[in-house]
Structure 1
Amino acid sequence: MDTGSAGGGGEGQIKGVLTHNGRYVQYNVYGNLFEVSTKYVPPIRPIGRGAYGIVCAAVNSQTQEEVAIKKIGNAFDNRIDAKRTLREIKLLRHMDHENIFIPNGHGLNNAYFKAVHGNILVIPGLAKIV
Structure 2
Amino acid sequence: PSALGPNVEIVRQQRFEVGPRYTDLKFIGEGAYGMVVSAFDHTTQQRVAIKKITPFEHQCFCQRTLREIKILSRFRHENIINIQEVMRAQTIDQMKDIYIVQCLMECDLYKLLRHQRLTDEHICYFLYQILRGLKYIHSANVLHRDLKPSNLLLNTNCDLKICDFGLARIADPTRDHSGLLTEYVATRWYRAPEIMLNARGYYKPIDIWSVGCILAEM
TM-score normalised to structure 1 length: 0.60
Deviations 1:19-74 (A, max 9, x none): xxx4x1x22222221112123232x110111111101111112321001110012x
The residue aligned with 1:111 is 98
Q: Distance in 1 between matches of 2:40 and 2:18?
A: 11
Q: Distance in 2 between matches of 1:38 and 1:94?
A: 27
Higher share in helix: 2
Q: Distance in 2 between matches of 1:109 and 1:90?
A: 19
1:78 aligns with 2:45: no
The residue aligned with 2:13 is 31
Q: Secondary structure at the match of 1:28?
A: strand
TM-score normalised to structure 2 length: 0.38
Paired amino acid for 1:47: I
Deviations 1:62-111 (A, max 9, x none): 321001110012x1222221111112112213424477346699856422
Q: Count how many residue pairs are aligned between Structure 1 and Structure 2.
A: 99
Q: Distance in 1 between matches of 2:35 and 2:83?
A: 20
Structure of higher RCO (CA pairs closer than 8 Å, 6+ residues apart): 1
Q: Is the 8 A contact 2:52 2:99 kept in 1?
A: yes
Q: Is the 8 A contact 1:65 1:117 kept in 2?
A: no
Q: Distance in 2 between matches of 1:64 and 1:103?
A: 15
Q: 1:1-130 to 2 correspondence within 5 Å?
A: 14-18=1-5, 22=6, 24=7, 26-42=8-24, 44-73=25-54, 75-97=55-77, 100-101=82-83, 109-116=96-103
Q: 1:114 Cα shift?
A: 0.4
Paired amino acid for 1:95: F
Root-mean-square deviation over aligned CA pairs: 3.0
The residue aligned with 1:3 is none
Paired amino acid for 2:61: D
Task: Please say which structure displays the higher CA radius of gyration.
Answer: 2
Q: Distance in 2 between matches of 1:111 and 1:84?
A: 13
